[in-house]
Amino acid sequence: MSRNRIDKIPATEITPKSVHDDRRDFIRKLGVGLIGGIAASSGLFQDASATSSDRQKITSYRKSSYGHEETTTPYEDITSYNNFYEFGTSKSDPAASASRLITMPWTISIEGQVRKPKILGFDDLLRLAPLEERIYRMRCVEGWSMVIPWIGLPLADLIKWAEPTGNAKFVEFVSLDNPAMMPGQNLHVLDWPYTEGLRMDEAMHPLTILAVGLYGEVLPKQNGAPVRLVVPWKYGFKGIKSIVKIRFTEHMPVSSWMKANPREYGFYSNVNPSVDHPRWSQATERRIGDGLFAKRRKTMLFNGYAEQVGQMYSGMDMRKYF
Ligand SMILES: Nc1nc2c(c(=O)[nH]1)N[C@H]1C(S)=C(S)[C@@H](COP(=O)(O)O)O[C@H]1N2
Ligand SMILES: [Mo]
Query: What is the phi-psi region of residue 143: left when phi exceeds 0, alpha when psi lies from -120 to 50, beta otherwise?
Result: left
The pick from 81, 82, 84, 269 for probing ligand 1's pocket by mutation, whose C-beta has the most ligand atoms within 8 angstroms, reads: 84
pLDDT tier, 292 (very low <50, low <70, confident <90, very high otherwise) = confident
Report pLDDT for 66: 73
The better pLDDT of the pair 26, 188 is held by 188
Please indicate whether residue 140, judged by its CB atom, sits closer than 6 Å to ligand 1: yes
Whether the pLDDT of residue 74 is over 50: the answer is: yes
Instruction: For residues 222 and 38, give the distance between their C-alpha atoms in angstroms, rounded to a whole number.
Output: 27
Q: Which atom of ligand 1 is nearest to the CA of 175?
A: 1
* Domain annotation for the chain: domains and CATH numbers: 61-310 (3.90.420.10)
CB contact set of 8 (below 8 Å; sequence gap of 6+): none
* Highest mean pLDDT out of 61-70, 102-111, 289-298: 102-111
Whether the pLDDT of residue 38 is over 90: the answer is: no
Mean of all residue pLDDT scores within the chain: 87
Report pLDDT for 9: 34
3-state secondary structure 162-215: HCECCCCCEEEEEECCCCCCCHHHHCCCCCCCCEEEEEHHHHHCCCCEEEEEEC
Nearest CA, atom 14, ligand 1: 236
Whole-model pTM over 0.95: no
Residue 206: Cβ within 10 Å count: 11
DSSP codes joined into one string, 210-257: EEEEETTEEPPGGGTSS-EEE-TTBBGGGS--SEEEEEEESS----HH
Give CA 15 to chain center in angstroms.
24
- For residue 126, which of 102, 153, 103, 95 has the smallest C-alpha distance? 153
When pLDDT is averaged across residues 21-49 and rounded to a whole number, the result is 39
Nearest CA, atom 19, ligand 1: 82
| 83 Cα to the center of ligand 1, angstroms | 4
Report pLDDT for 267: 98
Radius of gyration of the chain (CA): 19
When pLDDT is averaged across residues 117-140 and rounded to a whole number, the result is 97
The better pLDDT of the pair 47, 97 is held by 97
Report pLDDT for 53: 62
Nearest CA, atom 23, ligand 1: 237
Report pLDDT for 51: 52
When pLDDT is averaged across residues 82-105 and rounded to a whole number, the result is 97
Report pLDDT for 68: 77
Please indicate whether residue 231, judged by its CB atom, sits closer than 6 Å to ligand 1: no
Nearest CA, atom 24, ligand 1: 240
CB contact set of 66 (below 8 Å; sequence gap of 6+): 135
Residue 35: Cβ within 10 Å count: 10
Q: Is 65 exposed, middle or buried (0-12, 13-18, 19+ CB in 10 A)?
A: exposed
Distances (CA, A) of 120 to 104, 124, 176, 214, 217: 13, 6, 15, 22, 22
Convert the pLDDT of each residue in 219-273 to its tens digit: 999 999 999 999 999 999 999 999 999 999 999 999 999 999 999 999 999 999 9
Instruction: For residues 231 and 138, give the distance between their C-alpha atoms in angstroms, rounded to a whole number.
Output: 8
pLDDT tier, 64 (very low <50, low <70, confident <90, very high otherwise) = confident
Please indicate whether residue 85, judged by its CB atom, sits closer than 6 Å to ligand 1: yes
